[in-house]
Structure 1
Amino acid sequence: MTTEFLRERTFEVNGLQIACKEWGRPGFTPIIALHGWLDNAASFDHLIPLMNNVHVIALDMMGHGKSSHRSADSFYEPWIDVGDVISVADQMLWDEFTLLGHSRGAIISAFVAGTFPERIKNLFLIDGYVPYLHSTKKSGDHLKRAIKENRRFSVASPTYFRDFERAVHARVEGFVPLTYQAALTLAKRGVFEDANGFFWGNDQRLKASNHIKFSEEQIRNFYENIIANVILILAENSAIGTAESQEKFFDWIPQMQVKKLPGSHHLHLEDKSKDIALLLQTLLN
C-alpha cells in the first residue's frame, strides 16, 4: 500500500496564504511536513508515496514555493513559523499530530514540539537538529548584521535564467549541491516565469540573518520540553556537521533515536527515500 497525492490546498494565516500538498486520506496518521531552507513542499514528493496509512500536509513555508511572502514589516525567523504550523494544525482540527521536518524544517519542528509538547506525538528530523548557537556576548553585532541584510535583500531582485533548465542546473550546483532529479522535483514547484525569464520564487529576505538568535541555554530549554517519540536521521555527508559534532546535544532529548545513513543533505529526496520511509513507518507502527 502506498500514499497517493490528494490535492493542492491553501490555509490562511494572519491574512497570508500557506500553500501545501495534501497526501493520503483523513482518518490516517496526521502529519505536517516542513521542508528546508529555500526548498518547498515538493521536498517530500519521493518520500511520502512510500509511506502507509498517513494523512500528510506538506507545507510551502512562508516565503517559499507557492506561499505568500511575509509583509515588509515582518521577517523570516524560525520562531515565527511555529505559530504558522500550529495555525494549520488547528484548521485541520488536529489536537495531536506528527511532525516531519528536513533541515530548517527539522529545527522548526523541534521548536514546535518544545513549545507545544502535548500536541506532538512523533517527531521525525531529517539532517537537522540544533541550530547555530548564539553567543550572548555578540548580540549587538548579530542584530546589526540582520538589519543590514534585511534592508539589502528587501530590495533585491531574484536571479533570472534564460530557460527552465538553467534554473534547475543553478540549484544542482548551489550552496548545497543536489542531484539533477532532486533539483528538478523542487524546480517544478519553485520556479516561475515572467517577462524577464525564469526565476526561483523564494523571498530574497530568506537569505538574511535572523534578528533573534537563541543561546545554548534557550535552545536546550525548548528541546528538554519535548515528550514526543523522536528519530533523528543524519546523512554521512551532512550539511549540519558530523554526527560526532552533534552528539553533545543528543542528551537534551533522552528518548531520541539517532540513525546515520549514507548520502548527502537531501538524502530523503535522493536515493535514501526508501530507507527513511521504512524507519518512519516503524516508529508510526
Structure 2
Amino acid sequence: MCNPRRIEVRATSTLSRSWEVALTRTASASIDVTGEARLNQPFGTQLGAPLRRAFEAALGADPRWTWSEGAYRLELPHGQVAYHPETGEIEMTARWTELVEASGSATRTLSGRVVASTDATASGTFYTDGWAGQTENHVRSHLHTRLQKESDRKAEKEADRQEAQARDQGRSRLAGQQQEIDDLAAADARRNLGAVAEQARPGLDRQAAEQLGEARDTYLRPVNLVLRTAYRDMFEAYARTHGAQNLSVNEDGDVLTIEFEIEE
C-alpha cells in the first residue's frame, strides 16, 4: 500500500418545476320575466250611439280608469283591460310573471416556473497502486453516486420550498384581485340571465294565453260595470229630458233596475 491521494468530488442538480394557482368565483342573478297575451274584441260598435257616448263618458268619469296612449286603461292583478274609443275595441292583456335565475363564474389563473440548483461535495482517498480496489475511478464514481443522490434530494427540497413560496405569493395576488373576479362572475351571470330569460319567455306567453282564456270574464267584468253605469246615466238623462216622474234607480248586485213614468 503506497501513495494515498486525496480527491474532491462535486455533484450538481438542476430541477425545473412549473406551478399554477387559480381562483374561481361564482355569482347568481335573477329577474322577473313577464309573458303576455292579448285579445281584442269589438265592443263600442255593438252599442247604439247614445249608449256608446254614455259608456265613454262613464269611463272618463271613473277614477279607476286612466287615459293613456289613446285608450282608457284599467290595471288588474294579472294584466290590463283597455277600451279604444277610436275603434270601439276592448283590448284584454294577460300577464304571467315568474322569477328566473342564472349563475355565472369567473376564473383567474396564475402560473410560473421555479428552478432549483443545488450541489454536494465530498473528499475521498484513493491509492495509486489501487490498494483494496481503491483506484481513483472507483473512489470518484462511488463518491459521485452518493453525492448525486444527496444533491438530487436537496434539489427536490429546494424546489418544494420555492414552489410553495410561489404558490403562496400567487394566492396572495389573486386574493387582492377577488373583487375584480367577483365582478367578472357577476357579469357572466347577467349574460347568462339574458339567455335564460329569453328561453323562458315563450312558455310564459303560453301561460298568459291560458290565463286569458280561462279568466276572460274577469277581464270583462270591469267593462260591464261601467256599461251598467252608462245604462243608468243614459236612462236617467232620458227620463229627465222627457219630464219623467217617479224616477227610481235600484242597484242590487249585478242587477240594475230603473223605473220611471212618462205621461203621453
Instruction: Calculate the TM-score normalised by the size of structure 1.
Output: 0.15
Structure in which a larger fraction of residues adopt helix: 2
Which structure's CA Rg is the greater one?
Answer: 2
Structure in which a larger fraction of residues adopt strand: 2
Instruction: Calculate the TM-score normalised by the size of structure 2.
Output: 0.16
